Amino acid sequence: MKKGCPYGTHRVLEPKGVLPQPAFKISNDMEIYDNEILIDVQTLNIDSASFTQISDEAKGDVEGIKKIMKGIVDERGKHQNPVTGSGGMLIGTVEKIGPALEGKTDLKVGDKIATLVSLSLTPLRIDEITDIRPEIDQVDIKGKAILFESGLYAKIPEDLPENLVLSVLDVAGAPAQTAKMVSPGDTVVIIGGTGKAGMLCLYEAKKRAGVTGKVICLDYSEEGLKRAKAADLADEYIQADATDAVSVMNKIADVTDGKMADVTINIVNIPNTEMASILVTKDEGLVYFFSMATSFTKAALGAEGVGKDVEMVVGNGYTKGHAEISLQIMRESKALRDIFEKLYA
């Protein structure tokens, strides 16, 4: 059996010498190396920015979406959207475990797992797309995937529905990072706050900012805002288009007496919202860009252009304990669990 690198570099076809995520093409041959895990895939949770782009390109046509998704995997050996660069994650059953992993993993054949590494680096073969649930970015397939030795995963807990777990784990980094960066008394603005990740971030922000803090939920969706309000997820709710930076800034100034935000979390699924995030943040405040539609250039040059000294953080999909923190929200908050079961389970 062939010996593999823990990071999966042995599967990179082009360009040579890079890691699987930035690679253009990787091998999706499903014969495993000695340190790989073969997964029989059940469902893909496509990253929201990626699914939105694919769906727009296909004009919402399901057959068109299938064709684009299969085309991506045929070309790259992985589901990495060429426009957004992002992936998503998957749920499936462990089918084979390479012998070099003996004693190194707690997994056994037959375990149901969610991968916690992006589809943008996961070798994937799609044999058939059996169902698409566009409203929650989930796609059922017949196919296989490979988890590298360094690949993170979570066993599916028995007390929560599988599709709900998949949806929550897809964005697990966001609420876990929010928990770490919000302090008592902070004013926090969450742009895209009524989306899947947004609601989890609102919950963590409110918990960490405490009674002396203020959590502001900003979103385009009126229905989403009504839902978040009914669940009491924030202190203020603002309907606005985050691509209209100045209008967003004025609305946040109104509800903060001009003081603006200590922490701003951008969690939308569309481009051109960098400036709204920067303008609503006070000098020396923190902007956390979790959205995959974020442009580094627009954020960096945009902040400079308006003379804003803000710290800007790239949303790392992983932080220690992210799976536990995000799934725990589903156990702690009945209101959020009800919403998530209705929307995503």
The residue range among 147-155, 170-178, 302-310, 320-328 that interacts with ligand NAP, by the rule CB under 6 A, is 170-178
DSSP conformation class of 32: P
48 counts as binding ligand NAP under rule CB under 6 A:
yes
Which residues, numbered 10-39, are part of the site for ligand NAP (CB under 6 A)? none
C-beta nearest to ligand NAP: residue: 195
196 counts as binding ligand NAP under rule CB under 6 A:
yes
CA–CA separation, 112 and 130 (whole Å) = 19
**Nearer residue to ligand NAP within complex by CB, 148 or 288:** 288
Secondary-structure percent of the chain, ordered helix, strand, coil, rounded to 5: 35, 25, 40
β-strand 214-219 against 281-289: which pairing, if any?
unpaired
188 counts as binding ligand NAP under rule CB under 6 A:
no
* Tokens at 163, concatenated: 């599709």
* Rounded least distance, CB 127 to ligand NAP, Å: 26
**Nearer residue to ligand NAP within complex by CB, 94 or 267:** 267
Q: Is 210 left (phi over 0), alpha (psi -120 to 50) or beta?
A: left
Give every CB contact of residue 200 below 8 A, 6+ residues apart in sequence.
Answer: 168, 171, 174, 175, 178, 326, 329, 336
4 counts as binding ligand NAP under rule CB under 6 A:
no
Other Cβ atoms less than 10 A from the Cβ of 324: the count is 12
Select from 240, 228, 232, 308 the least CA-distant residue to 268.
240
**Nearer residue to ligand NAP within complex by CB, 35 or 194:** 194
Q: Give the residue, chosen from 124, 169, 176, 293, that forms a contact with ligand NAP under the rule CB under 6 A.
A: 293
* Rounded least distance, CB 11 to ligand NAP, Å: 21
> What DSSP string describes 140-162?
EEEEEEEE-TT--EEEPPTTS-H
In the shown chain, the binding pattern of residues 242 to 281 toward ligand NAP, with x for contact by CB under 6 A and - for none, equals xx-----------------------xxxx-----------
Q: Give the residue, chosen from 4, 198, 213, 285, that forms a contact with ligand NAP under the rule CB under 6 A.
A: 198
Asked whether the beta carbons of 20 and 12 are under 8 A apart, the reply is yes
CA torsion 213-217-218-222 (nearest 10°) is: -150
Give every CB contact of residue 290 below 8 A, 6+ residues apart in sequence.
Answer: 171, 173, 174, 177, 197, 201, 265, 266, 267, 315
Q: Give the residue, chosen from 57, 236, 241, 341, that forms a contact with ligand NAP under the rule CB under 6 A.
A: 241
DSSP conformation class of 82: T
* Rounded least distance, CB 171 to ligand NAP, Å: 5
226: amino acid identity, one letter: K
* Rounded least distance, CB 177 to ligand NAP, Å: 9
Q: Give the residue, chosen from 41, 132, 145, 197, that forms a contact with ligand NAP under the rule CB under 6 A.
A: 197
175 counts as binding ligand NAP under rule CB under 6 A:
no
Which residues, numbered 297-336, are part of the site for ligand NAP (CB under 6 A)? 315, 317
Q: How many residues bind ligand NAP (CB under 6 A)?
A: 30
Using CB under 6 A as the criterion, which residues of the chain lie in contact with ligand NAP when the complex forms?
47-49, 86, 170-171, 173, 192, 194-198, 219-221, 224, 241-243, 267-270, 290-293, 315, 317
